[in-house]
Structure 1
Amino acid sequence: MYQAQYWVELQALKAHVCYLSLYQLKSEAYERWIGIILAVASSSSIAGWVIWQQYAFVWACFIAGSQVISVVYKFLPFKERIKPLRAAGIELGLLADEAERCWFDVAQGELTEKQINEKRFDIRKRKSAIMQSAFNGMVIPEDEPLMKKAEDHMRKYFKSHYPELSND
């Protein structure tokens, strides 16, 4: 029973590592696209104004919109999460590797049920400490499609590394 619980904890940790990585990539993509839009808006707005004087109102709206985006952009939460996502992802990845390394002893029956349970709760405690340290109370929203993708990555990982244990 405790072996199965450790295995589930290990899978959940790996899925969490995958989720943070995918969330980081998504946040960086948002930041990149907003930066591109703002750069294009500021670079082309003057040229566009000269070229299409008959659409002056459209260009004025475009410029005003880009100004609003540039002000609001500073307050968007994904930008603030990128650096902590990187740090937490690395730390949780190391924890996942350590937990996976310990899986051998768990699977081979080298540890008592009490020791397995202690290791499982140690993983949880360290995971919480890593998240608290990186995010300092900031909440990461759950993106359901991204979570499903992270779980798929986790299943593929364990299926390729532990085919005898993987459930299809």
Structure 2
Amino acid sequence: MYQQQYWVELQNLKAHVYYLELYQLGSESVERWISIILAIASSASIGGWVIWKDYAFVWAFFIMITQVISVVYKFLPFKARIKPLATAGVELSLLADDAEKGWFDVAQGNLTEREINDKRFAIRKKKSAVMKSAFSGMVFPENEKLMAKAEDQMRKYFKSHYQELQDER
């Protein structure tokens, strides 16, 4: 029973590592596209002002909108999460590697049930500490589609590395 609980904890940890990576990639992509759009809009609006003098009001409005977006953009929550995502992702990945290394002793029966339980809760405690340290005071929403994708990547990982266990469970 405790071996199974450790295995589930290991899988959950690995899924969260993938989730943070996917979330970071998505956030960086959004940030990149907003920056590109703002750069193009700013350049085009200046050039458009000269070319389309008859529509000066439209171009002035366009410039105003891009300026508002560029100011608001700095305060969007995804932007503030990018750096903590990178930090937490690396730390959780290292923790997942340690937990996976510990799986050997758990699977071989080298540990008592109490030791397995203690190792499982130590993993959980370290995971909470990493998340609290990286995202202190920040709400981190769950994206169901990303979590499903992360869980799929986790299953693929464990299927390729622990085929014998996947067949049994």
Same-fold call, TM cutoff 0.5 = yes
1:135 to partner: Cα distance: 1.2
**Paired position in structure 2 for 1:151:** 151
Compute the displacement of 1:128 (Å). Answer: 0.5
- Which residue does the alignment assign to 1:34? 34
For 2:135, the equivalent position in structure 1 comes to: 135
What amino acid is aligned across from residue 104 of structure 1 in structure 2? F
**How far has the Cα of 1:99 moved from its partner?**
0.1
TM-score, normalised with respect to structure 2: 0.95
Q: What is the count of residue pairs matched by the alignment?
A: 168
Amino acid aligned to 2:7 = W
Q: Which amino acid aligns with 2:165?
A: L
Give 4+ residue runs of structure 1 displaced > 4 Å after superposition.
none
Q: Which residue of 1 aligns with 2:4?
A: 4
Q: In angstroms, what is the RMSD of aligned CA positions?
A: 1.3
Q: Which runs of 5+ in 1 are unaligned?
A: none
- Matching residue of 2:15: 15
1:78 corresponds to which letter in structure 2?
A: F
What is the percent sequence identity of the aligned residues? 74
Query: Shift of the alpha carbon at 1:54?
Result: 3.7
Q: Which amino acid aligns with 1:105?
A: D
Question: Quick one: distance in 2 between partners of 1:131 and 1:93?
Answer: 12
Q: TM-score, normalised by structure 1?
A: 0.95
Deviations 1:42-69 (Å, cap 9, x if unpaired)?
1111111222334433322321210110
Q: How many Å separate the matches in 1 of 2:134 and 2:95?
A: 14
